[in-house]
Amino acid sequence: MIFLIGLLISIALIVVGIVRFKIHPFFVLLFAAMLYGFITGMNVTQIISAVNDGFGSIMGKIGLIIFFGVVIGTILEKSGGAMVIATRLIKLIGEKSIHLAMMLTGYLLSIPVFADSAFIIMNSLNKALSDKAKVAYAGTTAALALGLTATHVMVPPTPGPIAAAGILGAELGNVIIWGLIISSLSLIPSYFFATKIAAKVKVPIIMETSGDSLHKPKLSLSLLAILVPIVLIVVKSVFDYPELNLSTSSVYPVIQFFGSPVIALLVGVLLTLFLPKKLDENVFSATGWFGDAVRIAAPIILITGAGGIFGAMLQNSGMADFIKDYFSGMSIGLFLPFLLAACLKTAQGSSTVALITTASIVAPMMPALGLEDAFMKTMTVLAIGAGSTVVSHANDSFFWVLTQLTGMDVKQGNQVQTMGTLVLGLSAMLLIFFTTQVLS
């Protein structure tokens, strides 16, 4: 039982350190991992080895992937490409279908752009269209926020799902394919929540006057930066399916190179360089857009590395044997990672931290939970993503971005954002469960 006690104490330290004392998650995860090692009787050499190997191993797998994904999102946001995509998609769907337009726009934008940044980009457009269409601002806001959240937690190259996939050893192309399927279907009940329940919350629309001098790159170039990396990764995944026997094809070496996540996302970075009006130090320099991307990516990469340390510490301590002995007869499967992620998300607020921490804890337990094959690894990543949705409330920065920009009070924020993320997370988990029942 010392393994379980050590794990519970470590999780408590993570939650208290982040929520109560506002310590950076990297240091909290690092010290929690080391504390777990000492509690479970690991010697100094084993602990130091877990720190070095855990950090180095996970960084070698996904450090550059996370960084390149952030660069793509940063340039899309700052060049105006994200707004071009949003505006065109809304025109395509139609202003009369404002809820659907907001949800699908948010869904697409949050793949490369962080959810809170994408909400800031979209809020003025959402407000103007809601006012013009005379529909409830709270309903369209819920639709936008839930669309943003769905891909933020379940579809790479968003950093959280990338990190979880890397930690669990899930194939990134499969995570993209199934992430798109599960996240899009889970938005169906979320849409009805936005239009039938959140829309009843009365939030006045206060319009601000602002000039729009933002550079507008071509739509085709803006979309290429998102779609090309995803297509390259997915194509490689298709070629890698043993049943198709495509690995002997003459074009496979080319597919293997460009479809590897690092190269695919690097291609996406190169494509974003066609978006700025002018390529100069404002884009390339340490104080320009590249520098902004480094500052955004650094804490995520460090937190992911600390998660790798935590996972290595659990693996080296013998936790997997404990789980096998005590949980092998229980059919908890995917519900353990879902519930653990939900608890961490609700307790400390960050979906990314919940994704990385849960993946690090669950990784050594995968065989004992019956989740070790390729398909179940993919479903585990998505179950953790669904759990990291539940629920967004006052300790989540996105909650405050939403309420402050829209003028909602805390009660209204709970009615719109907190309840909405609960609906989204539970819907996604039910879809994941039924999918595994049908296909396993």
Cα-based distances in Å from 159 to 64, 73, 385: 11, 11, 12
What span, in angstroms and rounded, lies between the C-alpha atoms of 84 and 79? 10
Question: Which range of residues forms the domain containing residue 286?
Answer: 2-439
pLDDT greater than 60 at residue 347 = yes
Number of domains composing the chain: 1
- Region 358-378 average pLDDT: 90
User: How confident is the model over 227-254, as pLDDT tens digits?
Assistant: 999 999 999 988 888 777 788 889 999 9
Buried/exposed code over 419-432 (b: 16+ C-beta within 10 A; e: otherwise): bbbbbbbbbbbebb
Q: Give this prediction's pTM.
A: 0.86
pLDDT for position 414: 93
User: How confident is the model over 131-140, as pLDDT tens digits?
Assistant: 888 899 999 9
User: How confident is the model over 253-287, as pLDDT tens digits?
Assistant: 999 999 999 999 999 999 999 999 888 899 999 99
Maximum Cα interatomic distance, the chain, rounded to a whole number of Å = 66
pLDDT greater than 80 at residue 413 = yes
Residues 6+ apart with CB under 8 A from 262: 64, 65, 68
Residue 98 or residue 327, greater confidence: 98
Mean of the per-residue pLDDT values of the chain: 89
What span, in angstroms and rounded, lies between the C-alpha atoms of 278 and 255? 32
Residue 149 or residue 317, greater confidence: 149
Residues 6+ apart with CB under 8 A from 439: 375
Q: Are 72 and 111 in contact (CB under 8 A)?
A: no
Confidence of residue 148 (pLDDT cuts 50, 70, 90): very high
Question: Please, what is the end-to-end C-alpha distance for the chain in angstroms?
Answer: 32
What span, in angstroms and rounded, lies between the C-alpha atoms of 436 and 440? 5
pLDDT greater than 70 at residue 325 = no
Least confident range from 127-141, 190-204, 309-323, 338-352: namely 309-323
What span, in angstroms and rounded, lies between the C-alpha atoms of 312 and 395? 29
What span, in angstroms and rounded, lies between the C-alpha atoms of 341 and 13? 16
Confidence of residue 184 (pLDDT cuts 50, 70, 90): very high
pLDDT greater than 60 at residue 424 = yes
Confidence of residue 318 (pLDDT cuts 50, 70, 90): confident
CB-CB neighbours of 5 under 10 Å? 12
- Region 300-327 average pLDDT: 80
Angle, helices 289-317 vs 319-327, to 10°: value is 60
Least confident range from 28-32, 70-74, 129-133: namely 129-133
pLDDT greater than 80 at residue 402 = yes
pLDDT for position 321: 67
pLDDT greater than 50 at residue 211 = no
pLDDT for position 123: 87
User: How confident is the model over 99-126, as pLDDT tens digits?
Assistant: 999 999 999 999 888 888 889 888 888 8
Spacing of C-alpha 314 from chain mean position? 23
pLDDT greater than 60 at residue 208 = no
pLDDT greater than 90 at residue 440 = no
Residue 148 or residue 7, greater confidence: 148
pLDDT greater than 80 at residue 212 = no
pLDDT greater than 50 at residue 210 = no
pLDDT for position 390: 93
